[in-house]
Structure 1
């Protein structure tokens, strides 16, 4: 969560390069989003509980810019996604 920022986009690119399946979301379409899209990393704009069902992550990494009461973060916690 927050893949449109410098830190999260860099982490996403690194993990994808290492062979991990990576997806992300952000509230804004930034130049960093363009960089991860270029590497064929799935990006969804906005935050939604439905993202947990769509991507079925093993792990959720989120930016410090994401509020603790964010609906997507809460859904991940309810589903036991670390």
Structure 2
């Protein structure tokens, strides 16, 4: 199962990503700003990071998308989730 997390560099979402990875899930994520120490921690876990929010970040067709509470309608990646009917 592939989980994609929007806002992955936040403390909670980053922690969630690490837990999911440790449970054996494929994890990717995007955030407006990707920088250490969170980016380093996530990359060391084998989590693919994408800087910026774009519809193309969802081209891997994730099975589940988790959207951080700081994001809302109008965000290009949020809109792509809705348009594609992703869970």
Superposition RMSD on alpha carbons, in Å? 1.0
Give 2:56's aligned residue.
50
Once residues 34 and 8 of structure 2 are traced to their aligned partners in structure 1, the CA distance between those partners, rounded to angstroms, is: 10
Deviation at 1:41?
0.4
Question: How many pairs were matched up?
Answer: 81
Q: Does 1:71 align with 2:76?
A: yes
Unmatched 5+ stretches in structure 2: 1-5
Once residues 72 and 39 of structure 2 are traced to their aligned partners in structure 1, the CA distance between those partners, rounded to angstroms, is: 20
* TM-score, structure 2 as length reference: 0.87
Q: Which has the higher strand share?
A: 2
CA deviation profile, 1:1-42 (whole Å, cap 9, x unmatched): 011110100000000000011000111123212210111100
Give 2:44's aligned residue.
38
Unmatched 5+ stretches in structure 1: none
